[in-house]
C-alpha cells in the first residue's frame, strides 16, 4: 500500500469513498508519522491520538452510511491559536499555561461539522507575533526543507510555522493557520506549500486568540491549490458571533479550479521590486508572469504607490491593537499567575514572566503609540496611510485588473538563530514586506509554490484578489501550480 500520508485531501477523500482504506487507518498512519517526526520537526505542541481515533471512527460510520461531509475522515492539524474545547490552546505562550477552553472556535467547529479529524495542536510564534516560529514558548519549528548538501536547520517561516512544516512533512493532510501580516503566506512560501488568507470577514474570528483584530484572518495551509479550496470552503462561514463576519454565502471554491484564465487581467506592481530582494525571487516572478501569459491572461503594469508605507503603518496598527487585546492576560481569569505583594505587582510580574521578548516589545510599542500625546502622530496617521494603501488597490481593480501577481517573500528560508535577524527586529519584519499590504487592505491573498532556488529551497508567488473573489485566486493559482509543478522535501528526519 502507498504511504497514506502522502495523499492530498482530494485523493484521500476519493479513496475513503471507495473503501480502499478507512479513516481510522489513515488517522493511524498520520499519528505514526507524527510520533516518528515530531521530535525532530517540533511542529506539534500537543497530539490528541485518542480524540483523533474517536473522530475517525465516527467518520467511518458516516462514510459507510452515505452521510459523509466534505472533509469526512480527513486528519488535520490545528494552529494553537484556535480554541478547541478541552484541548491545549495557548497561542504558544507561557502566559496561557494550562489553558483548556470550555468552548470551540467557529472555524474548528465548521471543520468538525464537515467530518474532519483533529490530530493535535500546531506550533506557532507566540501570539502569532513573528516570521520564523522562533518566538514560540515551545521552541523553534524546523523546516522540513534543507539546503542541498547541508544539514543546517532552517526556519519554516511564521507565525504559522508549525502548520506549514506539518503540511510539508506529511504530518497532517492540511492545517488551519492565521494571517495578520503574512503568517499564512510567508510560511507557505518557505515550505513549498499553498496558503490562502481570505478576505477580512470571510472566516469567523470567534474563538481565535486575538492579536490585531482589524487584520487577523484565518485560512488554510495545504499541499496543493485544490486542497486549499476544499479547506477554505469548510473554514469560512457567516457567523453571528463575529460582528465583522460578512454576510455573503460561501461559494464552492473547488469549482473554480481548472477554469481558464484566458482574458483575466493580471497586474504587476513595480513597487514590489525591492532592494535586497534575492535575484531568484525576481526570476520566479518573471516565470509566473510568463506562465499566466501563456495560459491566456493579459499582463498589465500597475502602480501601488503607497506600498513602501504598509510595513511601517502595520508596525503601528498591529502593536496598538495587540497591546489592547493582550491586556486581558493578567493572571486573574486564566493561565499563569506569578504572586506579588499587591495586585499591581502580581499583574506586572505575571506579564513579565508570561510574555516573551517579541510580545513584550510589541505591547510596549502599542502602548507607546496609543499613549497621551502620541496618538495623533502615530496611530491616527497610520490609519490614514492605511486608507491610502487600500485606495491604491481599489484604483487598480477599478481599472479592470482581476488579480495582482507578486513574490510571496523576499528570500527563501533562512537559518534558525540567524544572527542578523536576531540583532535587529526590523530585519525580521521585512519578511512580510510583500504580504502585509494585503492585510492592511483586507484583501484575499494566496501563496503558491513557484520553484526552487539554487540552494534547492522553495520560493512562492503571491496572487492578490478583489474582496471576496478568492475564486479568481484559486483559478490563477492553479495555473501557476500546473506550470511550476509540486515540491516535496527530501526526508532527513
Binding of another protein at residue 243 (CB under 8 A)?
A: yes
User: Count residues contacting another protein (CB under 8 A)?
Assistant: 76
Binding of another protein at residue 422 (CB under 8 A)?
A: no
- Is-catalytic flag, 197? no
Main-chain phi, psi angles of 336, to 5 degrees? -70, 140
Residue from 23, 28, 79, 197 carrying the catalytic annotation: 79
> Cβ closer to another protein: 121 or 142?
121
Q: Which of residues 444-473 bind another protein (CB under 8 A)?
A: 467
Binding of another protein at residue 395 (CB under 8 A)?
A: no
> Cβ closer to another protein: 335 or 451?
335
Q: Contacting another protein (CB under 8 A), which of 270, 293, 328, 384?
A: 384
The full DSSP string for 305-327 is TTGGGHHHHHHHHHHHHHHHHGG
Binding of another protein at residue 360 (CB under 8 A)?
A: yes
Distance (Å, whole) CA 443 – CA 463: 10
Give the 3-state DSSP-derived string for 185-198, with helices as H, strands as E and coil as C: HHHHHHHCCEEEEC
Q: How many CB atoms lie within 10 A of CB 102?
A: 7
Binding of another protein at residue 282 (CB under 8 A)?
A: no
Of the candidates 219, 220, 167, 159, which has an alpha carbon nearest to the alpha carbon of residue 191? 167
Which three cell numbers mark 79? 494552529
For residue 463, the Cα-to-chain-centroid distance in whole angstroms is 15
Binding of another protein at residue 385 (CB under 8 A)?
A: yes
Q: Which of residues 159-218 bind another protein (CB under 8 A)?
A: 199-201, 214
Binding of another protein at residue 436 (CB under 8 A)?
A: no
Q: Contacting another protein (CB under 8 A), which of 287, 383, 395, 486?
A: 383
Nearest approach in angstroms of CB 28 to another protein is: 32
Strand boundaries in 43-197, DSSP class E: 44-47, 75-79, 117-122, 174-179, 194-197
Binding of another protein at residue 94 (CB under 8 A)?
A: no
> Cβ closer to another protein: 244 or 283?
244
Of the candidates 79, 77, 199, which has an alpha carbon nearest to the alpha carbon of residue 127? 79
Of the candidates 1, 8, 2, which has an alpha carbon nearest to the alpha carbon of residue 486? 8
Binding of another protein at residue 375 (CB under 8 A)?
A: no
Starting at the edge strand found earlier in the chain, the sheet holding 194-197 runs 44-47, 117-122, 75-79, 174-179, 217-222, 194-197, 445-452, 458-465, 403-407, 265-269, 298-302
Please say whether the beta carbons of 435 and 185 come within 8 A: yes
> Cβ closer to another protein: 36 or 377?
377
Binding of another protein at residue 62 (CB under 8 A)?
A: no
Of the candidate spans 2-10, 69-77, 224-232, 387-395, the one that interacts with another protein by CB under 8 A turns out to be: 387-395
Residue for grid cell 493535535: 120
- Is-catalytic flag, 241? no
> Cβ closer to another protein: 367 or 486?
367
Site string for another protein, 325-354 (x = CB under 8 A): --x--xxxxxxxx-xxxxxxxxxxx-xx--
Binding of another protein at residue 137 (CB under 8 A)?
A: no
- Is-catalytic flag, 183? yes
Please say whether the beta carbons of 30 and 119 come within 8 A: yes
Residues noted as catalytic: 79, 159, 183
Amino acid at each position: 500500500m502507498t504511504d497514506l500520508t502522502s495523499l492530498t485531501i482530494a485523493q484521500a477523500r476519493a479513496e475513503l469513498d471507495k473503501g480502499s482504506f478507512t479513516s481510522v487507518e489513515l488517522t493511524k498512519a498520520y499519528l505514526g508519522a507524527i510520533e516518528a517526526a515530531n521530535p525532530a520537526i517540533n511542529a506539534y505542541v500537543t497530539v490528541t491520538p485518542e480524540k483523533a481515533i474517536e473522530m475517525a471512527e465516527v467518520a467511518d460510520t458516516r462514510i459507510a452510511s452515505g452521510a459523509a461531509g466534505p472533509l469526512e475522515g480527513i486528519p488535520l492539524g490545528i494552529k494553537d491559536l484556535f480554541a478547541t474545547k478541552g484541548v491545549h490552546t495557548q497561542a504558544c505562550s507561557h502566559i496561557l499555561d494550562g489553558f483548556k477552553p470550555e468552548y470551540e472556535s467557529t472555524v474548528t467547529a465548521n471543520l468538525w461539522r464537515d467530518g474532519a479529524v483533529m490530530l493535535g495542536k500546531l506550533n506557532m510564534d507566540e501570539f502569532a507575533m513573528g516570521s520564523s516560529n522562533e518566538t514560540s514558548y515551545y521552541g523553534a519549528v524546523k523546516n522540513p526543507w534543507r539546503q542541498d548538501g547541508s544539514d543546517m536547520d532552517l526556519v519554516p517561516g511564521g507565525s504559522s510555522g508549525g502548520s506549514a512544516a506539518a503540511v510539508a512533512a506529511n504530518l497532517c493532510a492540511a492545517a488551519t493557520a492565521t494571517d495578520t501580516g503574512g503568517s499564512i503566506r510567508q510560511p507557505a512560501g518557505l515550505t513549498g506549500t499553498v496558503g490562502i488568507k481570505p478576505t477580512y470577514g470571510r472566516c469567523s474570528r470567534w474563538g481565535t486568540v486575538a492579536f490585531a483584530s482589524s487584520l487577523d484572518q484565518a485560512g488554510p495551509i495545504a499541499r496543493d491549490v485544490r486542497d486549499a479550496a476544499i479547506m477554505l470552503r469548510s473554514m469560512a462561514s457567516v457567523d453571528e458571533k463575529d460582528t465583522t463576519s460578512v454576510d455573503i454565502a460561501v461559494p464552492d471554491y473547488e469549482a473554480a479550479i481548472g477554469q481558464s484564465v484566458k482574458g483575466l487581467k493580471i497586474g504587476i506592481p513595480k513597487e514590489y521590486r525591492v532592494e535586497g530582494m534575492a535575484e531568484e525571487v525576481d526570476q520566479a516572478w518573471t516565470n509566473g508572469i510568463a506562465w499566466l501569459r501563456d495560459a491566456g491572461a493579459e499582463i498589465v503594469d500597475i502602480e501601488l504607490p503607497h506600498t513602501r508605507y504598509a510595513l511601517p503603518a502595520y508596525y503601528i496598527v498591529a502593536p496598538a491593537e495587540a497591546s489592547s487585546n493582550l491586556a486581558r492576560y493578567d493572571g486573574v481569569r486564566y493561565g499563569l499567575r506569578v504572586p506579588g505583594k499587591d495586585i499591581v505587582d502580581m499583574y506586572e510580574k505575571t506579564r513579565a514572566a508570561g510574555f516573551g521578548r517579541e510580545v513584550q516589545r510589541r505591547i510596549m510599542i502599542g502602548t507607546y503609540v496609543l499613549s497621551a500625546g502620541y496618538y495623533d502622530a502615530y496611530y491616527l496617521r497610520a490609519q490614514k496611510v492605511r486608507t491610502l494603501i487600500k485606495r491604491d488597490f481599489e484604483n487598480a481593480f477599478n481599472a479592470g485588473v482581476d488579480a495582482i501577481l507578486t513574490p510571496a517573500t523576499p528570500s527563501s528560508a533562512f537559518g534558525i538563530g540567524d544572527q542578523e535577524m536576531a540583532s535587529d527586529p526590523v530585519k525580521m519584519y521585512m519578511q512580510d514586506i510583500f504580504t502585509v499590504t494585503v492585510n492592511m487592505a483586507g484583501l484575499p491573498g494566496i501563496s503558491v509554490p513557484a520553484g526552487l532556488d539554487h540552494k534547492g529551497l522553495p520560493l512562492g508567488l503571491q496572487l492578490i484578489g478583489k474582496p471576496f473573489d478568492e475564486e479568481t485566486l484559486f483559478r490563477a493559482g492553479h495555473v501557476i501550480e500546473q506550470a511550476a509543478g509540486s515540491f516535496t522535501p527530501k526526508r532527513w528526519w
